C-alpha cells in the first residue's frame, strides 16, 4: 500500500497541469537540465526532468525560460513567468512559426 501511494505521488511530479493534458511535450535541454515543455496557444509549461542540486529559484526560472523559448520559438511575456523550481508557467508572445 505504501509503495502504491509513493508511486502515485511521484507520478504527479512529472505530469502537466490540466490545461496541458493531452498536449505532446517537446523535450529540450537548457544549461545541462532536461525539460518537458508543453504549449497550448499562448501559454507554456516547462517541467524539469530529474533532480537538481541548485535550489535557487532564480536559476530554475532562467533555465526553464530558456527551455520554453527553445521549444516554442516564442518570447516570454514580461512578468508572466512563475515557478516552483520544478514546474514553470509562462505566457508567450512573438512566436515564430
Query: What would the pLDDT profile of 41-69 be if each residue is shown by its tens digit?
Result: 999 999 999 989 998 999 999 999 999 99
Beta-ladder partners of 26: 37
User: What is the DSSP track for 34-74?
Assistant: EEEEEEETTEEEEEEES--S---HHHHHHHHHHHHHHHHS-
Give pTM, 2 decimals: 0.84
Label residue 17 by pLDDT band (50, 70, 90): confident
Beta-ladder partners of 13: none
Label residue 1 by pLDDT band (50, 70, 90): low
Amino acid at each position: 500500500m505504501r509503495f502504491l501511494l509513493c508511486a502515485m505521488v511521484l507520478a504527479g511530479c512529472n505530469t502537466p497541469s490540466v490545461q496541458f493534458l493531452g498536449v505532446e511535450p517537446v523535450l529540450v535541454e537548457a544549461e545541462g537540465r532536461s525539460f518537458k515543455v508543453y504549449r497550448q496557444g499562448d501559454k507554456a509549461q516547462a517541467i524539469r526532468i530529474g533532480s537538481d542540486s541548485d535550489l535557487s529559484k532564480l536559476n530554475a526560472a532562467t533555465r526553464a525560460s530558456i527551455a520554453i523559448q527553445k521549444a516554442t520559438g516564442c518570447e516570454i511575456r514580461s512578468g508572466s513567468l512563475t515557478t516552483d523550481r520544478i514546474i514553470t508557467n509562462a505566457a508567450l508572445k512573438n512566436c515564430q512559426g
